[in-house]
Amino acid sequence: MTGQRPANLPRLPKTYRARTLLIWATGFSVALIAASILGWFALDPHIRERFNNFQILTLIVIGLVLIGFMMGLGMSIVVADERGLKIRNAISIRRLTWDEIGEIQYRHGDPWAYAMLAGTEDDPVRRQMIGIQTTDKDRAHAAVAELRALHAHYRS
């Protein structure tokens, strides 16, 4: 859309993050590392000697996968710009233009916001925006309001 940007729209690009989810993911990751290290040294040395290198490496890889999964979710974001939205949920990244989005949906009881794809009303297609979490309460409501205003402004 051409013309001046209305005053109620945020400066772009704007990034939305699930703050509470990131705090929990970081906390659980630190706790997992600490518990693993403390658990290892709490074992009797005789028991620790029975682990071979492959078994130790397997346990480390499992821990890293768990931490990677938690932090991937915790670092989920939604980035809005003049062209549309970039949605990063854990390891997947989707790019949607404003015209591809029918509406921004965030109903009572939803765990996060959704981008409903335009033209799919008969068989709705929703894209999760994990970067906007219900657990963030007022921040999530403000983010959805901003995205709806941007959608209304930039949709042709």
What average pLDDT does range 9-32 have in this prediction? 95
Nearest to 136 by CA among 112, 115, 114: 112
Q: Between the CA of residue 18 and those of 36, 47, 82, 146, what are the distances in Å?
A: 27, 42, 22, 15
User: In this predicted model, which residue has the larger pLDDT, 3 or 22?
Assistant: 22
Of residues 120 and 112, more confidence is placed in 112
Is CATH 2.30.29.30 correct for 14-18+78-154?
A: yes
How far separated are the first and last CA of the chain, in Å rounded? 7
The three-class DSSP label of residue 92 is strand
pTM: 0.84
pLDDT value at position 120?
Answer: 79
**Domain positions in the chain:** 14-18+78-154, 20-73
DSSP 125: -
Question: What are φ and ψ of residue 10, in 5° steps?
Answer: -75, 160
| Statement: residue 86 has pLDDT above 80 | yes
